[in-house]
Amino acid sequence: MNKIFLDSDVLLDLLLDREPFTDEIAEIFENSLATSISLCISPISITNINYIIGKLENQRAADSKTKKILKLVQVENVGQTTINKASQSEFKDFEDAVQNYCAQESGHKIIITRNTRDYKASDLSIMTPREYLAKMNSE
């Protein structure tokens, strides 16, 4: 089974309908439902999404959207080794480091994000939703 790791920003694009980014991430979700591709996230993504949507909209909307997204994604584990690697990494943003090492330790090869420059220190393949879709359509 193929697994794709999603950064928090692309989930927020979908849940907050942030144009012009919504269509690409929606297509990735649609493709995952029609294939054996699992979309995965870190636990910090869920907490961040719930917090951000709660601030931008309201807590009821945040809770509803959190429940919806949890039906569509697999939450990977973050433990002591993930946090240790993140804290000792070259990443400028600790959250991105945690997501990177969560993906890496869970066997992912790809992280989909709009902020590719935030993952310069990663050994994984970092793609925007557009880049990922282009790759999938060319295969």
Token digits for 27? 């297509």
Claim: this prediction has a pTM higher than 0.85? yes
pLDDT confidence of residue 137: 85
Bridge partner residues of 111 (DSSP): 5, 126
pLDDT digits (tens), the chain, 139 positions: 589 999 999 999 999 999 999 999 999 999 999 998 999 999 999 999 999 999 999 999 999 999 999 999 999 999 999 999 999 999 999 999 999 999 999 999 999 999 999 999 999 999 999 999 999 888 7
Q: What is the pLDDT of residue 1?
A: 53
Q: Given this model, what pLDDT does residue 59 score?
A: 97
Task: From residue 7, give the alpha-carbon distance in Å to each of 46, 58, 60, 122, 132.
Answer: 11, 22, 23, 13, 13
Q: What is the DSSP string of 59-125?
A: HHHHHHHHHHHHTT-EEPP--HHHHHHHHTSS-SSHHHHHHHHHHHHTT-SEEE-S-GGGGTT-SSE
Q: Return the bridge partners of 127, or none.
A: 112
Strand partners, 125: 110
Please name each of the domains of the chain with its CATH number. Answer: 3-138 (3.40.50.1010)
* Token pair in block for residue 57: 């909209």
Question: Could you give the CA distance from residue 18 to residue 57 in angstroms, rounded to a whole number?
Answer: 13
